[in-house]
Amino acid sequence: MTGLTKTSACSVVLLLVVAIDTGFSNPLKSKESWGYVDVREGAHMFWWLYYADSPSTSYSQLPLVMWLQGGPGGSGCGFGNFEEIGPLDRDLEPRKNSWVQYSSVLFVDNPVGTGFSYTDSDEAFATDVATVASDMLVLLKQFFNKEEQFQSVPFYIFSESYGGKMAAAISLELTKAVEKGTLKCNFAGVALGDSWISPLDSVMTWGPYLYTTSLLDDYGLREVSSAAEAVKQAVDQGP
């Protein structure tokens, strides 16, 4: 994964603010905000919030969804926002259907080193899922303290691919924090989209799944199953 220096990351955000506030027309109607949280010494995580833009319901009465991208190293503020579910597409044109029409959406560049999130040194990168989860808990505590209006609305974590692995660990730690009273939010659930939690289990199901959906014939099934078995043997043997 690649990180941005503090100067370059802040410069990109500043350019975006200038583009919206001055010389360019802004097609975005919904309210938005963003910021950084220092999650550890030398580790800085970026979040970007779109308040729900519903014609009939106030954002304070609609759920809050946090989107976690895969990778690890895919930028939620980039891919998830402009390529998938945000209010604008990558050409900055309004998306016909956006999640912001039904909920407030919080994009987080996670883990640090992804997108606008950056570290002061290579030693500050997250090297395991436990650190990813603890970093996110620091961010969420500061976010909900800052955006108190979201403490009572249903809060969901949505994820895709490797983001599902991170979302599962984050959700567990979030549940513990809510129960202990160290973080105030109405955590309502987690959704794991094509989550990459157990790579081996995923690989072993590819052949049967593709065969069942008629994307493989008998010969193709044998070929894919053989390759998957080779992967399993390599994993069992270890490095």
- Does the pLDDT at position 8 exceed 50? no
Q: Quick one: 77 and 129 in the same domain?
A: yes
SS3 155: strand
Dump pLDDT digits (tens) for 90-128.
999 998 888 998 999 999 999 999 999 999 999 999 989
Q: Quick one: 149 and 215 in the same domain?
A: no
Tell me the two tokens of residue 7.
């100067």
What is the C-alpha R_g of the chain?
20
Opening angle at CA 68, ends 157 and 36, nearest 5:
100
Structural domain includes residue 171: yes
List the domain range (segments joined by +) for residue 113.
6-197
- Flag the least confident range among 12-26, 82-96, 164-178, 193-207: 12-26
Number of domains in the chain: 2
- Does the pLDDT at position 6 exceed 70? no
Report, as an integer, the average pLDDT of 191-201: 83
Q: Quick one: 114 and 138 in the same domain?
A: yes
16 versus 226: the higher-pLDDT residue is 226
Q: Quick one: 174 and 216 in the same domain?
A: no
Dump pLDDT digits (tens) for 40-51.
999 999 999 999
Please tell me the pTM assigned to this model.
0.77
In this structure, are residues 52 and 104 in contact, taking their beta carbons and an 8 Å threshold?
yes
The CATH number of residue 121's host domain is: 3.40.50.1820
Structural domain includes residue 1: no
Q: Quick one: 120 and 29 in the same domain?
A: yes
Taking alpha carbons only, the member of 196, 42, 56 closest to residue 119 is 42
Share of the chain above pLDDT 70, in %: 87
